[in-house]
Every structure is written in structure tokens, then in C-alpha cells.
Amino acid sequence: MSTIHVKGLTKSFGGNDVLKGIDLDVADGEVVCVIGPSGSGKSTLLRCLNKLEEISGGSVVIDDFDLTDPKVDLNQVRQRIGMVFQHFNLFPHMSAIENIMLAPVELKKQTKAEARQSALQLLTRVGLEEKADARPASLSGGQKQRVAIARSLAMNPGIMLFDEATSALDPEMVGEVLQVIKDLAREGMTMVVVTHEMGFAREVSDRVVFMADGVICEEGTPEQIFSHPEQPRLQDFLAKVL
């Protein structure tokens, strides 16, 4: 059972309130897409979910672990959450397969041989088994992002976070990455996906969350959000992006 429970989450940088009280529950196997204008706090929200950002107020509970509890071992919780970044953040000094093997081997979850075995399986899953020994620099953007997804799956997480995973890609490569994410969704992964791809959001999500100015302005099924938006801000936003 992989779940996320966010209650009254606030986050400020210096005096700048970026998140102003977010409540969000994600059920096991649920796919939630987060949309909203630039600067509305989507990335910040996502980064609070694995505590890459310190949490200013409220609470974030992953499965049974309260991230605001100082006794919680963050490294343990983070192994339950995979994260995919807009700019891939692959380790350039390691081959594709070494990128994937790093965490399982360092965290002693697997021997080197086992890790190599599962890494190859993950590469096969994203269609890149023949690129196992390639350095990131020799991969295309779409291939890099697929390796990054494979890497984030290496610790076998129950939850995946995607922050604009296709925004840095050339258009012809967007499809291959979205396909991998769709596959994950179909397999029952619990996911929070920040995206600007409205068509994809509509297709893949169980629920869409619209953020504006650090709050959740409106949420609902894709049908409700895209076909019957209620808030004027959401209507404005959709008018601009669709």
C-alpha cells in the first residue's frame, strides 16, 4: 500500500510564501496530475513530498512515515519514492547501467551481480537494453529520460514523482517517455505527475489538480477539469494552453 497524505502544507523561501496550505491525498495506485501556471508552486509541492525541500508547516505522510517527524529516517522513506526530474540529472561519469545500479549496491539491497541483472531488466522495460554501457552524454534526450526513469525504479518504489519529465525534450521524443509513464500507470504505480502535456494528463490521470498561487484552486476527474472547469482562473489557464 503506497499512499500520500498532505495536510496544511506550507512552504516559504525567506519571506516568500510559495505553498499556502495544501491538502492532498493520493490513494494507492492512483495517478494524480498537477497542472498550473509557471511559479504556482508545482515543483515545490513535489519536492516537499520527498523532502528535497524543508517543510515549513503542515504535514506530509508517506505510507506510515510522517516526514516532519525528526525521528523518521529520510533515506528509508526516499527509497519508497522514485523521482524524475525535468533535466534528467543522470550521473555523467557513470554508464546507463551504473546509474541504475548505484543505489541498490550502495544501499546494500543487492549484490553487484543481482543489481546488474535487475538493472538490465529495467533497461529492457524502457526499451534501452542495448544502451546499458553507454554514457549519458551519448544518449538522446528521450533516452536519457528513460534511463532516469529506470534509475528511479531501481529501489522498487511504490510511489513515483514526475516533474515536467518531458519539458526539456524535443517534440519527437516526448511520446516515447510518455509511453513509459503510461505503462507505469497501468501497472498500478501511485504517481504524482507535474505536466504541461494536457492531452497526456487527460488520458492518464485518475485525478487532475490545478494549482495557482500556492494553493490548490480546483481538482477533479480529467473530465471535470478539462470539460467543465469552474474557476475562472482554471478557465483562463486552459484557454491559454489548449
Partner 1 sequence: MHKPRPSRLTRIVPAAIAAVAALSLFGGVAAAAASPADASHETAGGALAAAASTPPPADVKGKTFTIGTDTTFAPFEFRSGGDLKGIDMDLIRSIAKLEGFSVNIKSLGFDAALQALQSNQVDGVIAGMSITDERKQIFDFSDPYFDSGIQMAVAKSNNDITSYKDLKGKTVAVKRGSEGEAFANSIKNKYHFTVKPLDQSATMYDDVKAGNSVAVFDDYPVLAYGIRQNNGLKAVTAKERGSSYGFAVNKGQNQELLAAFNTGLAELKANGQYQKILDRYLKAPDEAAPNSSFFALLANSFPALMKGLGLTMLATVLSLIFALIIGIVFGFFKVGSSLVLRGIATTYVAIFRGTPLLVQAFFFYFGLPQLTGVPIDVLTAGILTLSLNAGAYMTEIIRGGIQSIDPGQLEAARSLGLGYVTSMRRVVIPQAVKVMTPTFINQFVITLKDTSLLAVIGFAELTYQGQQIYASNFRTGETLLIVAALYFIVIMLLTQLSNLLDRKFNK
Ligand X SMILES: Nc1ncnc2c1ncn2[C@@H]1O[C@H](COP(=O)(O)OP(=O)(O)OP(=O)(O)O)[C@@H](O)[C@H]1O
Residue identified by cell 526499451 is 127
SS3 171: helix
81 scored as a contact of partner 1 (CB under 8 A)? yes
Nearest distance in Å: CB 108, partner 1 = 11
168 scored as a contact of partner 1 (CB under 8 A)? no
Q: Given candidates 2, 4, 24, 43, which one binds Mg ion under the rule CB under 5 A?
A: 43
Cα–Cα distances in Å, from 211 out to 4, 181, 197?
A: 17, 22, 15
144 scored as a contact of ligand X (CB under 6 A)? no
Nearer to Mg ion, 43 or 166 (CB): 43
Stretch that binds Mg ion, among 21-29, 39-47, 50-58, 150-158 (CB under 5 A): 39-47
39 scored as a contact of ligand X (CB under 6 A)? yes
198 scored as a contact of ligand X (CB under 6 A)? no
CA 199, 192, 90, 184 dihedral sign is negative
Q: Given candidates 41, 82, 157, 158, which one binds ligand X under the rule CB under 6 A?
A: 41
Number of residues that bind Mg ion (CB under 5 A): 1
Stretch that binds partner 1, among 28-36, 88-96, 208-216, 230-238 (CB under 8 A): 88-96
144: left (phi over 0), alpha (psi -120 to 50) or beta: alpha
All cell numbers assigned to 219: 481538482
Q: Given candidates 62, 97, 154, 159, which one binds partner 1 under the rule CB under 8 A?
A: 154
240 scored as a contact of ligand X (CB under 6 A)? no
Checking DSSP bridges between strand 16-26 and strand 31-35, what pairing results, if any? unpaired
- Gap between the Cα atoms of 51 and 14, Å rounded: 17
All cell numbers assigned to 119: 538493472
Nearest distance in Å: CB 148, ligand X = 17
First-to-last alpha carbon distance for the chain, in angstroms, is: 35
Nearer to ligand X, 150 or 192 (CB): 192
All cell numbers assigned to 135: 554514457
The footprint of Mg ion (CB under 5 A) covers 43
